[in-house]
Structure 1
Amino acid sequence: MKAWRVHETGEPREAMRLEEVPDPVPGPGEVLVRVRAANVNFPDALLCRGQYQIRPEPPFTPGVELCGEIRALGAGVTGLEPGARVIAPAALPGGAFAELAVVKASTVLPAPDALDDAEAAALHIGYQTGWFGLHRRAALRGGETLLVHAAAGGVGSAAVQLGKAAGATVIAVVGGAEKAAAAAKLGCDIVVDRRTEDFVAVVKEATGGRGADVVYDPVGGEAYTRSTKCVAFEGRIVVVGFTSGTIPTPGLNHALVKNYSILGLHWGLYNAHDPAAIRHCHDELTRLAAEGTVKPLVSERLPLAAAADAVQRVADGTTTGRLVVVPD
């Protein structure tokens, strides 16, 4: 089969190589799937750079989530059938940027019928992260104000849709006119182009000086630092990632004086500590997808040969919505 592999870490466009490799074989508790679509995530770039919290030994295949069709079951796997259309996180070092992949049977979920392959591939990690961040960690309530950074990106757009589904007023922060237009189409109540506007001032004006009840931050750096200036009394800042490349150092005295919470979210830990919650979240997301309330913003569907370039573009922050690799 064809698979992208990283032999030496570096920038995705240089580090990833498309190669012919033997077909993988599922072991006990594993499932072999034909990859129908593989969503491109920022962690894929971090994997290529050797900067992700999980660091598989080279050579490895990036691609952290997929939609696929079950081809074969490993020993001891029950409750799944060949031919079923499913979604799952990849089981590194054998990631999703390949024609075939092996995943853990315990992580396999049915692909929502309301979504096509590319949309289903983009539903899992980003939307699960958003749901856990907004509901389990921040306890977002209807009528509250939600501030979303990088709102036109894959992670941010998921949070926007989930925030609107929860009845929140959503203020989106984006970079550039094209991304502002995309955020507006998602249904954001207010869109702020950080290149030309001060989101702190906009949030304060929109909330009568109260501030945002929940801040959803996958960016870090200056986005986080400035968010502390417009978070509400008893507000919650959900730290999702650091696409800016800068990990902020919170001023805990500031959190004390302003009485807000800083909440970390590592979604992957729920697979180990509360897998039932993962399934419950998937059921909720499937329901919302069937209602048309959530629908991944897939901006491009690309062939397998374009995977390295797609990962690089996501790393560079030049994309809107999701790029999804659809193998031939």
Structure 2
Amino acid sequence: MAKYLWDNGFRSISFEKSVPNGHENMCIDIYEESLVLFVECERQPERKAVIERLKRLKDAYPTAKFVLATQDRVGWRALRLGQVADEVWVVCRDGRILTPAEWAEERRRTLQSIFNDAELQGLINIYSQTLEDYEKFRELSLEEETYWRQLLTQTCLKTRHFKAEWLQSLAVKGVWRKHVEAAERQLQEVKNRVMGKVVELLNAILSLSSPYIMTLDGNGEITVAVDWDAWQWLGWKDYPSKNPAAATHYRILEENLQKELKIATRNIKPKRMENKNEIKSTVELRQQIKELQIMMDDVESMIQTLLKMSKNQQPTQTAITH
């Protein structure tokens, strides 16, 4: 933050500026004297606490400008921090300063560019076909192995009347086994390719707001590593533990992941905004349908009544005796 102010030509910068606050003073992270600008840097801003600091600052410096600066990993939360300060700044890892709206628009464009749904769907289709082939070959192989075991058992019985129960569990490698093994290798290969695309997507999202990096080796094993430069930037002190701060960090990560996965995979359906004329037409159409239903019910009731009357008015036949 201080570098941003300095690069923009503001030189009267001080840190931990003391602000009168009743009997006790409070400190604001950054102060720029020529602008009467106070900047509070928060990794996990709480709306109520920030509003309270704004009120106390304005009591001491009525004309001052109060800015809340937060990291880009809580950019989505920053969208809900309107009116807590004169301005809210989202500080990007590359040093840029954006408004929450600017940051959100840029993040959406980034997320929507990292996922190729057609490519992943193609791999999933290949996996489904390969799995079907594997299961078919496996079933044929099992049937063949059972057949050869039965022949071996019958041969023992026919020759020496010898019952060899262990023949039922004898390992038999039939003709179909090589097809099973080939399909199994292909299945594992396709699984790794599918998982590779999933890891690629997750890595792209994790790199935006976390210090974690996932890698997938040729055996299908996933390894998680840490980018320590990112760790330092985010100010994370430890792995998940009983420490409430650590728990909060991971809760933010999970919130970001859920939202950004939906955006990246285009799983968020835009809400359709109806104008006043569309709403009016919809209401009128529903009313017409309701009136038509009432009329149909009335007509059906009349038909039932006419049928009953018709039956009652039929002439009575008199029997004639010859």
Q: TM-score range by the shorter chain?
A: under 0.3
| Greater radius of gyration (CA) | 2
- TM (norm. structure 2) is 0.22
More strand by proportion, 1 or 2? 1
- TM (norm. structure 1) is 0.22
